[in-house]
Structure 1
Amino acid sequence: MEFGENIQQESVLGDNQRITILNTVIDVLNVQETIELVEKYVETKTPLHLMGVNADKINEVNQNKKMKKIVNSCGVINADGASVVLASRYLGKPLPERVAGIDLMQKLVSLSEEKGYSIYLLGAKQEVVEKTKKILQKTYPALKIVGIHNGYFKEKDWISISTELKEKKPDFVFVGITSPMKEYLIEFLQNNGNDAVFMGVGGSFDVISGNIPRAPLWMQKCNLEWLFRVMQEPNRLFKRYFVGNWIFIKSVYLEKRRLR
């Protein structure tokens, strides 16, 4: 893994400060600043891949050249992980706060209801995405949900998904499928002429629908939401968080030594 690479990227519509941690560009933004910047993309119909990075994503950036290129070319890149915020402070370039993906998604959904923006839900099982739609419509009665699509499709179906998005013209597309396919799909859809704000939301549809519970508030405040997720899905997430976090911590330590 290489450290300290000089990566120069800029947010297309923002003049916000950016830092680099372990070859990964991150915007120095809090939640409200992120929302204000994202809305500029919506208002100007400027395509945006709204990216959230955690320790696992940064590990992947340093192991996958294609992922590195995609992540660092995104217009807005948030720290969606307490470990990333803590690492930024340890490295002497502190980020203001964690911008949790599920919280940001719901704030953008609320903004969409308020401003009349439209959204599209892409991902999860069919029954989950349908239930997510119903719950969002109940919570935000004036919300425009112009379409939904489950996350069980093949690469050959990407063209038809792109065609539907061009017909529906959503302002936001929330993508709830696993990485790195999520990032590859969003890159394809943007290159295919879709000008929406695309945001990967991980398992947010499962949480919103009630299919998977979210961590209690006290665990969220103590930065232990990752541990709660591991407890819910140990077979799938144990290696990602325990092994992955160790790799991330070691990498941050080595970067600190290099900076010294």
Structure 2
Amino acid sequence: MSSNYILGNRVDSLTLAAAVARVASFIADGSPHHIVTMNAEIAYLAYKDPGLQAVINRAHMVTADGSGVVWAARKLGTPLPERVTGIDLVQALAAEGARRGWRFYLYGAAPGVAAAAAAKLQEEHPGLVIAGTTHGYLGPDAMPALLAEIKRARPHILLVGLGAPKQEYWIATHLEELQVPVAMGVGGSFDVLAGVVRRAPAWVQRLNLEWLYRVVKEPKRVKRALALPKFMLAVLHEARCRR
């Protein structure tokens, strides 16, 4: 598995199928692994935050979650085979996990959302084992009980939907204690899976305008979307420096 660097952040050169195969190898190995699904917003945050960048670069797999990262890799002369979004990887892992008997635990999102997302995944992938779900609105006092519950559930894959960069820091902090073979930050994927948020139509995704669709549907995301032009300018500057 080869890796590229965008604004100092590692991203692995992977197709969706290769990412699933890599996760299967992590599970077979049994030791804890951290997966980051990195979009342009996270990449720009990490560019400005050395602590977050260190977490990303220590992760065992980093996928290109979004067209912005794929564009950046191409501009920097290190093209990626395709984007591998968090939600697409979750769906692919659920399909594979239903066949292999992998156990999943979903932590994050508003009360009831993770449970609804889990139910939807089981409906779409018969035989999928859900070891547990917990919403993401827990205070520090509740954390020891959550960690104990996850350890008792013994999932193969822990999906954490706390939003970036909180989910990346949370996984990095607790990965060794939990000893989960695979822990992956999935952002707002639970909301989409549960039907709380609608994903952009396929034609919008093909045009690489999924980010704009989400801003139109959720105007509160405008401030977050402003990271995209800043990311693009930083990438163009890095491309000039590499020449």
Question: Residues 170-202 of structure 1: CA distance to partner in whole angstroms, max 9, x if unpaired?
Answer: 001111112222112111221324223111111
Paired with 2:163 and 2:142, the residues of 1 have a C-alpha distance of 16
Paired with 1:170 and 1:118, the residues of 2 have a C-alpha distance of 5
Higher relative contact order (CA 8 A, sep 6+): 2
Q: CA deviation at 1:226?
A: 0.7
2:205 matches 1:240: no
Q: CA deviation at 1:158?
A: 2.5
2:73 matches 1:77: no
Q: SS in structure 2 opposite 1:26?
A: strand
Paired with 2:23 and 2:240, the residues of 1 have a C-alpha distance of 35
Which residue in the other structure is 2:110 paired with? 125
Q: CA deviation at 1:132?
A: 1.4
2:240 matches 1:252: no
Q: SS in structure 1 opposite 2:41?
A: helix
Paired with 1:53 and 1:104, the residues of 2 have a C-alpha distance of 12
Q: Map 1:105-254 onto structure 2 (within 5 A).
A: 105-235=90-220, 237-241=221-225, 243-254=226-237
Q: CA deviation at 1:164?
A: 1.1
Q: CA deviation at 1:77?
A: 0.5
Q: SS in structure 1 opposite 2:48?
A: coil
- The one-letter amino acid paired with 1:238 is V
Q: CA deviation at 1:63?
A: 1.5
Aligned in 2, Cα 1:55/1:153: closer, same or farther, shift over 3 Å?
same
Contact 2:157 2:180 in 1 (8 A): no
- The one-letter amino acid paired with 2:94 is V
Please give the root-mean-square deviation of Cα atoms over the aligned residues, in Å. 1.2
Paired with 2:142 and 2:8, the residues of 1 have a C-alpha distance of 33
2:37 matches 1:52: yes
TM-score w.r.t. structure 2 length? Answer: 0.96
Which residue in the other structure is 2:76 paired with? 91
Q: CA deviation at 1:157?
A: 2.7
Paired with 2:214 and 2:100, the residues of 1 have a C-alpha distance of 33
Paired with 2:49 and 2:144, the residues of 1 have a C-alpha distance of 25
Unaligned runs of 5+ in 1: 1-15
Q: CA deviation at 1:54?
A: 1.2
Contact 1:176 1:200 in 2 (8 A): yes
Q: CA deviation at 1:98?
A: 0.5
Q: CA deviation at 1:59?
A: 0.9
Contact 2:107 2:136 in 1 (8 A): yes
- Identity %, equivalent residues: 35
- The one-letter amino acid paired with 1:44 is D
- The one-letter amino acid paired with 1:27 is D
Paired with 2:19 and 2:123, the residues of 1 have a C-alpha distance of 26
Q: CA deviation at 1:43?
A: 1.1
Q: SS in structure 1 opposite 2:127?
A: coil
Unaligned runs of 5+ in 2: none
Which residue in the other structure is 1:61 paired with? 46
Question: Residues 196-240 of structure 1: CA distance to partner in whole angstroms, max 9, x if unpaired?
Answer: 3111111111111111111011001111111111112111x1121
